[in-house]
């Protein structure tokens, strides 16, 4: 899934590989998916995009934007997989969208459970997208302790730390996936209520959020996710589907997986006491 590290890594890879290429053709879905969302009719994407040169790419929150001439964008959202193929012949037969370039390379967009693939001129009029695009990223210096404190203060209900950090897109792109290691590194259980955290614990949580996300990004994303070339990230997750029931690296106790708030949480019951 596209979360903060993956969207940043993917955008850097896309800009490196695609900048300067011109779009030759856009192919619509060969495998229709009822939970693949588009902006208008995807059959019109070819008319909108063909002939446009790719200028750059940007990753923010759970979105990746491919920025083209004439203020035109191709946008992928959380749940959408993007893959690059140097030669058109190497690309898969099934996809939800494919963009072919003037050198016969292409990128394909595929959706597993759900995901958005939008092409538009000017900014996408979507509230989640707008909130992400104009937010302050934890990867920047502007996301400091005072900004983090405001996130706590703006939530009046005494909710869990998972609900605070990974729902309502209070921090766009910080989802349930990256949350697990952030909480482990700060020693905080995902079900802890925000009112139970001391100032010291909030400081530890802030530090963990910044350093963990930066480490994930610097290592090309998490090992549970794949990049533009289909390679798994080099950041080895501490708490994920890859490590459940394995020994905690700190204390040796088995890592636990538990259903919570419509998803799964992973934690060490010794190092992250409730």
User: Tell me, which fold does domain 4-133 have in CATH?
Assistant: N-terminal domain of MutM-like DNA repair proteins (3.20.190)
Q: Which of 192, 177, 154, 190 is nearest to 238 (CA)?
A: 177
Question: What is the pTM for the complete model shown?
Answer: 0.94
Tens-binned pLDDT, residue by residue, of the chain (274 aa): 899 999 999 999 999 999 999 999 999 999 999 999 999 999 999 999 999 999 999 999 999 999 999 999 999 999 999 999 998 778 889 999 999 999 999 999 999 899 999 999 998 999 999 999 999 999 999 999 999 999 999 998 999 999 999 999 999 999 999 999 999 999 999 999 999 999 999 999 999 999 999 999 999 999 999 999 999 999 999 999 999 999 999 999 999 999 999 899 999 999 999 8
At the second CATH level, the architecture of 145-267 is Orthogonal Bundle (1.10)
Q: What own/partner pairs with CB < 8 Å and gap ≥ 24 does 162-168 have?
A: 162/190, 162/191, 162/260, 162/261, 162/265, 163/261, 164/194, 165/209, 167/261
Q: Which residue, chain included where needed, has tokens 């703006």?
A: 154
Between CA 273 and CA 49 the distance in angstroms is: 52
**Where do the domains of the chain lie?**
4-133, 145-267
Q: What is the DSSP letter of 140?
A: S
């Amino acid at each position: 899934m596209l979360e903060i590290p993956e969207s940043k890594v993917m955008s850097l890879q896309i800009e490196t590989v695609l900048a300067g290429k011109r779009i030759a053709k856009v192919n619509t879905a060969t495998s229709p998916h009822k939970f693949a969302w588009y902006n208008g009719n995807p059959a019109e994407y070819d008319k909108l995009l063909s002939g446009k040169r790719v200028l750059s790419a940007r990753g923010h929150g759970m979105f990746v934007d491919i920025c083209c001439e004439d203020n035109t964008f191709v946008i992928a959202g959380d749940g959408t997989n993007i893959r690059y193929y140097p030669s058109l012949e190497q690309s898969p037969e099934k996809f939800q969208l494919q963009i072919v370039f003037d050198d016969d390379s292409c990128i394909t967009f595929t959706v597993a459970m759900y995901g958005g693939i939008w092409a538009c001129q000017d900014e996408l009029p979507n509230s989640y997208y707008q909130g992400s695009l104009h937010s302050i990223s934890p990867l920047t210096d502007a996301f400091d302790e005072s900004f983090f404190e405001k996130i706590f203060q703006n939530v009046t209900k005494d909710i869990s730390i998972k609900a605070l950090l990974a729902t309502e897109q209070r921090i766009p792109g910080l989802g349930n996936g990256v949350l697990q290691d952030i909480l482990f590194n700060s020693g905080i259980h995902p079900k802890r209520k925000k009112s139970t955290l001391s100032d010291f614990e909030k400081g530890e949580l802030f530090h963990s959020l910044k350093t963990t996300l930066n480490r994930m990004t610097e290592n090309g994303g998490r090992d549970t996710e794949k990049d533009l070339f289909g390679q798994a990230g080099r950041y080895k997750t501490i708490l994920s589907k890859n490590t459940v029931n394995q020994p905690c690296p700190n204390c040796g106790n088995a890592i636990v997986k538990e259903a919570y708030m419509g998803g799964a949480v992973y934690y060490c019951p010794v190092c992250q006491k409730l």
